[in-house]
Structure 1
Amino acid sequence: MYNRTTGLIQGVDVALGFNRMVGKTVLHYRILREIGKGGMGVVYKAEDTKLHRAVAIKVLSTDLVGDEKARARFLREVRAASAIDHPNICTVYEVNEVEDVMFFVMQYVEGKTLKKFISGRPLPLDQALEFSLQLTDALAEAHRRNVVHRDIKSSNIMLNERHQLKILDFGLAKLLKAAESSAADGIMDLTQVGSPFGTASYMSPEQARGEIADSRSDLFSMGVVMYEMLTGRLPFRGKSSVDVMHAVMHEDPTPLGDGFPQRLQQLMSKLMAKDKNARYQSADLLLEDLRALVRSHYVEQGVIPTDKSASLQATRQPQKGKGLMGKVSSWVQRTFNTGALVREETSGTPSATPDITPSMWQSRDKKAIAILPFKNLSGSPEDDFYSFSLADSVITELAQLRDLVFRLPPYKDHYQNKDVDPRAVGAQLSVDAVLVGGYIKSGERFRVTPQLVDVITGEIVWSEKIDVDARDI
């Protein structure tokens, strides 16, 4: 209760109302000012008088104190957020209840919302892609912990002074495992089927229909946020929420336009597919494709910035020697990381006998390498997609090495499945060597033959055959 002598609130006097909490103290938190309102409560900036730091406190609305469903949802929000430890997700410090008023204390983020930062104008491509990496990595971590946000939108994302994004408000979050076990326990999920939950402009088609949302709904909403960053506008619009939800369910967004990489348009189309089964099936898969796209973007500019190299590394490194990508990874690491030169072999097994170092590769100077799409030697159109995925796999590994500058030709499609002169391409791109390769799928076997060609001498610096079971691809 409120102590008139000390001016402290031992509990929270609900009768005072939210507006009169400013200037009061709840436990060891001094309420400074209101910073936001939502459907479930009010958020205040406060001072932690014990640790002398600014915090944000979310208090459950007084008119919902007696609502058991709202209280359960509020606690679920805290559990969901506190289970995730990620630099791009707002940290929850504690949850408490005083005089039947529930609140939780979280990290206070100084800055502005991503919505305000965009302010109806497209962000530079580099910045939009970097922000997309941060958000996707955060969602991947949340989804690994079976947490679905369900209300991803630019106004729920804060941008701090270091240009680091923080996802806020897990008020609609749902613990998947709890939902899966609820039927067996006879517990109904708090978010009822048939009631759209989320924000119209950002919700997925299944959310608009009032269906149960899973992690793929978050990915759809992530696509909307990316579209907003890239274009400065929302992909689905209307005069009312009903109009917007109709557009979400039945209309396709206007394409990004000619100024964007084709791979980015393809990624966006897959991300915002109406059918959730046609979307990315996990944030990890989206993250892999997004990193490959960003690497290609930087490579076309000439080099990956040093401060970006860590964020572009693969989420999970392939196990060396396991499957096709694992053997490609082993070859790249063995070839470029150790300086050991490998003779052409009949399998993916590492050679213990180094070749004689040719030409300029005896130097310790930083080398520039161009990477061309791998050639489909079988001629089967259904295997064409390996052409770029193999090249991207090599780029993934090379991005971790600081002694190399690598480049992709500006029009990669021009080189796909074509016979090219590596020396001519290398001279055009001003690189020291060109990585070329072929692959063929025959029955249950898959073979890749990468080669590194010295541009000056025309020598094949390294060559190898990598054989794997086609089922391991």
Structure 2
Amino acid sequence: MKTISSSCEKCGAEIPREALWHFCPACLLEKGIVLLADVPFIAGGDERLDRNGVSRTDENQKSELLSKGFPRKGIGIARNFADFGDYEVEEEIGRGGQGVVYRARQKSLNRMVALKIVSFGQWAAERHLRRFRLEAEAAARLNHPSIVPIYEIGERDGFCYFSMALVDGSRLDEVIESGSMPMRRAAELIAKLARAVHYAHERGILHRDIKPGNILLDAEGEPHLTDFGLARLPELQSDITGTAELLGTPSYMAPEQARGSKSEVTPATDVYGLGAVLYHLITGHPPFPAQTAYETIRMVLEAEPRPPQTWNRKLDRDLVTICLKCLDKEPRRRYGSALALAQDLECWLSNRPIQARQTGVFRHTQKWVRRNPTAALLIVSLAVLAATMVWSFQRSEPFGHRVANGIAVLPFENLSSDPNDAYFVDGVQDDLLTKLASIADLKVTSRTSVMHYRGKHDTREIAKALGVSHVLEGSVRKVGTSVHINAQLIDASSDSHVWARQYDFDLTNLFAIQSEIAQQVAKQLSAKMSSPEKLAIERRPTDDLAAFDLYNRARNLLLKASFGINRKAALLEAADLLEQAVKRDPSFFQAFCELAHTQNRIYHSGVDHTAARLAAAQAAIEAAFRLRPDAGEAHLARADNLYRGYLDYAGALAEVEKARKTVPNEPRLFFLKGSIERRQGQWEASMQDWERGLELDPRNLLMLKQLAPTYHALRLYPKAISALDRALSVDPNDIEAKGARAFIEFNWKADARPMREFLQSIRSSNPASMSRVADLQLICALAERDAPSARAALAELGEICLTEEAVQLRRPFIEGLIARMIGDAGGAMTAFNYARADQEKLVHAQPNYGPPLCVLGLIDAALGRREEALEEGRRAVELVPVEKDAINGPIVIQFFAMTAAWAGDRGLACEQLATAIRFPSQLGYGQLKLLPFWDPLRGEECFEKIVASLAPEQ
């Protein structure tokens, strides 16, 4: 229990007995000893502020305290050490509210880091240490590309410290010292930061000190939020601060913070901070630029910020509205969340209407009503009268039927005698769907979803399932070069025909007839069409019908691949067919775009992850841009290539935004955007985009099944299971979805029974499908240490036995693992030697590709090649940084942890494992507790603690 020896004569705060020389920690923090230019304000003084309203330390006061005996090494103890444990300290790079930050090299991983050491060193009072630990703990819980990640937390020689990513660049307050920032740049920065803040809020963490000095800009200009020294964690019902303390920086402090009311501090407080920073960026001044801290706080509580346009007349009105909504005195009148702020800024950036305008109008109206109650009553009465008249008119005069704009183009029936014409018929439907999807005013269901309804005729049920109001169906008969098409547009609510027509024509007129049908459908649905959209409908895809047939065959194969049917073979054959199509017609734009997407998938999925495949994709993209440089399809293909081939997320997202202008109804656009955001660690934004894509493609099993592993990676197991149940409602017999559900149960609860029971049901009811779940059989057998069953699973599997995203484990490795599991040392060594020769070829073919290298490291560890193994593991981690790939990055760290364990370095293994589990991934309780990969760590205290931390709550 803490004992108190005295009270501060100046501020009245209690001074803990352990405080050196009985200095008051609150007053020391207030006066800025060791914090210099970046200390948050703490009540109890009247310190002068700089031009940004930020507290500055009085050097005379600092010298006075030093003359009284306060040790200089307590200010910057790490300066005196070339080495600090695992860190080589190079230079001081900053001072924050809780410590001094140094550039340092972490020796074990040979990487540069930012090392933060508690400011008062060995002389820090307990309160200061608790704040320092709080910052580390808060930041360590967060994994977001716009939040500086924490690598390690520890204590050495009495000094608390933590290491974090080194952001090479500058602080935002340094950037804006010379004045304001361009509006778009400011909005982009705050939108990204708002998403990061929302991410923290979702995890119960409030920052409470958002200001330019706590925002770092990297070499690419991307923002990173840091300094969680004043954060509040969800499990702490009260702060570690005293009731009279004001924590924050005055010019960016929300009114509820200025009042010192901790109960009022909510996510809206951080929204205010973001708005205050936005104000500073667009005006060049903080919202309340007073001379003293107390004067600033008085203005925060009582005054309205100066209208931004008085600083800069060129400011856009909508951006000012967004900014001032954040700065409302009433928290409930600000944005409801940081995400809502981000979305409004993104609307402004894309020239869409903002939401804040509605709130502002309501506030002005409310104030006017209070000032003019009589006039307001008269206006309301007139409005009621007018509404009554309109209602009466509508009742007496029949209005024209207004058609809703959701449509599904169902598979056309093939009435041809030749079954090979099925590809031709599917091509007719596909081209109609593509033309209609180019109209922004229509919601067009994707082909992936409508293909489930081939041959089904209950249009009401189909429309209900797909969420549309209308259905286009028909039939095609082809005899030689003569074609007959019957097309019918049906209003699903009444099951009545809105429009129908039959066409008889020569094959050479196919594309003209398809354009005619699409235009008639758009007309019946009252869809507005722009000139570019009309041009898209009228444009012929190709003049070569043979090339069109090759294209349609490839599209059908790609559709099968999306359902997981012979995926590798389907992708490779589709690429070959598309190559033939563009060779026949070098002006076939759609075929070039589809070829680019196919090559990207082949490369990214690991089917052929080679430079040649990437070059083939790039060549197809360049050909598409030569043909139609402004087409959204070309921009989407380039976005896909930048994402899958180069991990260039910023570039890919920029191309996605360009694509949205001309292909607004393309589900692939939203799925791609969501995938990029997931790789960036923007999990919530990713889910929102996928859901938008699923609105357009509601029965896309591939995407429905992608929702589950995303929730699984977040360790939100009930939601993952719910997502799979949603997929099973589309296809109750989907074996992969059922198997994934059983695996999630295993990983969640460390219970192999759901997997075993699922496998038994397949074995008894559909034994021919056992090969499709052989990977699950292998995992179940390994978990239960059943070597015969594991070998039986191997017999059903191909060369690649287990995959986790881009990391693949091949047959010789699994054979070695099984032998190792049962204690067959000789058999294990033989198998691992085969595995090494196999894996080394993959690494040599792709020398800068981390996933195969991390597996080689694990194999070398099994063979006793300790130093090589650890070096390969480290190199793999460097090649796949989490900051660049939030999916594969944690997996590679996980494999490095396994490699260290197999190499006998348990300490390093536990350290890397502790790092791996901080990120979203499918590494869970079941895998750690039951699978033999982790056997070398069993009984190790640090490992058992990690395992226990992942156990489900009882």
Does TM-score exceed 0.5, indicating one fold?
Answer: yes
Deviations 1:108-132 (A, max 9, x none): 1111111111124121122111111
1:405 Cα deviation from its structure 2 partner: 4.5
Tell me, yes or no, if the aligned pair for 1:272 and 1:279 is still in contact at 8 Å: yes
Correspondence for 2:443:
335
Correspondence for 2:255:
205
**Is 1:287 the counterpart of 2:342 in the alignment?**
yes
Correspondence for 1:191:
241
1:107 Cα deviation from its structure 2 partner: 0.9
- In the superposition, relative to structure 1, how do residues 64 and 191 fare at CA in structure 2: closer, same or farther (>3 Å)? farther
Partner amino acid, structure 1, of 2:661: L
Q: Distance in 1 between matches of 2:271 and 2:293?
A: 21
Partner amino acid, structure 2, of 1:404: K
Tell me, yes or no, if the aligned pair for 2:407 and 2:472 is still in contact at 8 Å: no
Q: Distance in 1 between matches of 2:205 and 2:353?
A: 32
Q: Secondary structure at the match of 2:318?
A: helix
Tell me, yes or no, if the aligned pair for 1:111 and 1:158 is still in contact at 8 Å: yes
**Is 1:246 the counterpart of 2:301 in the alignment?**
no
Q: Distance in 2 between matches of 1:78 and 1:247?
A: 32
Correspondence for 2:503:
none
Q: Secondary structure at the match of 1:119?
A: helix
Partner amino acid, structure 1, of 2:289: R
Percent of pairs with identical residues:
29
Partner amino acid, structure 2, of 1:349: V
Q: Distance in 2 between matches of 1:403 and 1:362?
A: 20
Q: Distance in 1 between matches of 2:169 and 2:197?
A: 21
Correspondence for 1:402:
659
Aligned pairs, how many?
327
Q: Distance in 1 between matches of 2:406 and 2:332?
A: 30
- In the superposition, relative to structure 1, how do residues 293 and 160 fare at CA in structure 2: closer, same or farther (>3 Å)? same
Alignment of 1:104-115 (within 5 A): 104-115=162-173
Tell me, yes or no, if the aligned pair for 1:43 and 1:56 is still in contact at 8 Å: yes
- In the superposition, relative to structure 1, how do residues 237 and 51 fare at CA in structure 2: closer, same or farther (>3 Å)? same
**Is 1:274 the counterpart of 2:326 in the alignment?**
no
Q: Secondary structure at the match of 2:472?
A: coil
Correspondence for 2:277:
225
Correspondence for 1:163:
221
- In the superposition, relative to structure 1, how do residues 45 and 400 fare at CA in structure 2: closer, same or farther (>3 Å)? closer
Correspondence for 1:412:
none
Match of 1:87 among 135, 139, 145: 145
Alignment of 1:346-385 (within 5 A): 349-353=468-472, 356-358=517-519, 360=535, 361-363=537-539
Tell me, yes or no, if the aligned pair for 1:224 and 1:234 is still in contact at 8 Å: yes
Match of 2:110 among 40, 44, 52: 52
- In the superposition, relative to structure 1, how do residues 281 and 290 fare at CA in structure 2: closer, same or farther (>3 Å)? same
Tell me, yes or no, if the aligned pair for 2:75 and 2:121 is still in contact at 8 Å: no
1:27 Cα deviation from its structure 2 partner: 1.1
Partner amino acid, structure 2, of 1:147: I
1:402 Cα deviation from its structure 2 partner: 1.4
Deviations 1:410-449 (A, max 9, x none): xxxxxxxxxxxxxxxxxxxxxxxxxxxxxxxxxxxxxxxx
1:40 Cα deviation from its structure 2 partner: 2.5
Q: Distance in 1 between matches of 2:109 and 2:329?
A: 48
Tell me, yes or no, if the aligned pair for 1:263 and 1:293 is still in contact at 8 Å: yes
Q: Secondary structure at the match of 2:350?
A: helix
- In the superposition, relative to structure 1, how do residues 113 and 135 fare at CA in structure 2: closer, same or farther (>3 Å)? same
- In the superposition, relative to structure 1, how do residues 234 and 101 fare at CA in structure 2: closer, same or farther (>3 Å)? same
Match of 2:174 among 116, 119, 139: 116
Q: Distance in 2 between matches of 1:194 and 1:399?
A: 50
Deviations 1:329-357 (A, max 9, x none): 999697367599xxxxx996343216621
- In the superposition, relative to structure 1, how do residues 239 and 403 fare at CA in structure 2: closer, same or farther (>3 Å)? closer
Structure with higher Rg: it is: 2
Which structure: greater strand fraction?
A: 1
Partner amino acid, structure 2, of 1:159: L
Q: Distance in 1 between matches of 2:296 and 2:73?
A: 39
- In the superposition, relative to structure 1, how do residues 69 and 403 fare at CA in structure 2: closer, same or farther (>3 Å)? closer
Correspondence for 2:202:
144
Q: Secondary structure at the match of 1:217?
A: helix
1:21 Cα deviation from its structure 2 partner: 2.8
Tell me, yes or no, if the aligned pair for 2:276 and 2:327 is still in contact at 8 Å: yes
CA RMSD of aligned residues (A): 3.5
Partner amino acid, structure 2, of 1:141: Y
Correspondence for 1:422:
none
Partner amino acid, structure 2, of 1:21: A
Q: Distance in 1 between matches of 2:250 and 2:266?
A: 17
Deviations 1:266-295 (A, max 9, x none): 212210001112111211221222221211
Which structure: greater helix fraction?
A: 2
Tell me, yes or no, if the aligned pair for 1:200 and 1:244 is still in contact at 8 Å: yes
1:73 Cα deviation from its structure 2 partner: 2.1
Q: Distance in 2 between matches of 1:329 and 1:21?
A: 67
Which range moved further: 23-32 or 106-115?
23-32
Q: Distance in 2 between matches of 1:137 and 1:234?
A: 22
1:103 Cα deviation from its structure 2 partner: 0.6
Partner amino acid, structure 1, of 2:518: T
Correspondence for 2:78:
21
1:297 Cα deviation from its structure 2 partner: 6.7
Partner amino acid, structure 2, of 1:218: D
Partner amino acid, structure 2, of 1:357: A
- In the superposition, relative to structure 1, how do residues 83 and 334 fare at CA in structure 2: closer, same or farther (>3 Å)? farther
Q: Secondary structure at the match of 1:357?
A: helix
Correspondence for 2:267:
215
**Is 1:62 the counterpart of 2:120 in the alignment?**
yes
Tell me, yes or no, if the aligned pair for 2:121 and 2:158 is still in contact at 8 Å: no
Partner amino acid, structure 2, of 1:243: E
Correspondence for 1:425:
none
Tell me, yes or no, if the aligned pair for 2:253 and 2:273 is still in contact at 8 Å: yes
What is the TM-score with the length of structure 1 in the denominator? 0.62
Q: Distance in 2 between matches of 1:294 and 1:36?
A: 33
Correspondence for 2:823:
none
1:15 Cα deviation from its structure 2 partner: 9.2
1:154 Cα deviation from its structure 2 partner: 0.3
Q: Distance in 1 between matches of 2:211 and 2:407?
A: 37
Partner amino acid, structure 1, of 2:84: V
Deviations 1:85-140 (A, max 9, x none): 11111110010012322111111111111111112412112211111111111111
1:193 Cα deviation from its structure 2 partner: 3.1
Partner amino acid, structure 2, of 1:402: A
Q: Distance in 2 between matches of 1:40 and 1:349?
A: 57
Correspondence for 1:316:
none
Q: Distance in 2 between matches of 1:26 and 1:63?
A: 13
1:75 Cα deviation from its structure 2 partner: 1.7
1:65 Cα deviation from its structure 2 partner: 4.8
Q: Distance in 2 between matches of 1:362 and 1:65?
A: 78
- In the superposition, relative to structure 1, how do residues 272 and 224 fare at CA in structure 2: closer, same or farther (>3 Å)? same
Alignment of 1:252-331 (within 5 A): 252-257=304-309, 258-296=313-351
Q: Secondary structure at the match of 1:353?
A: strand
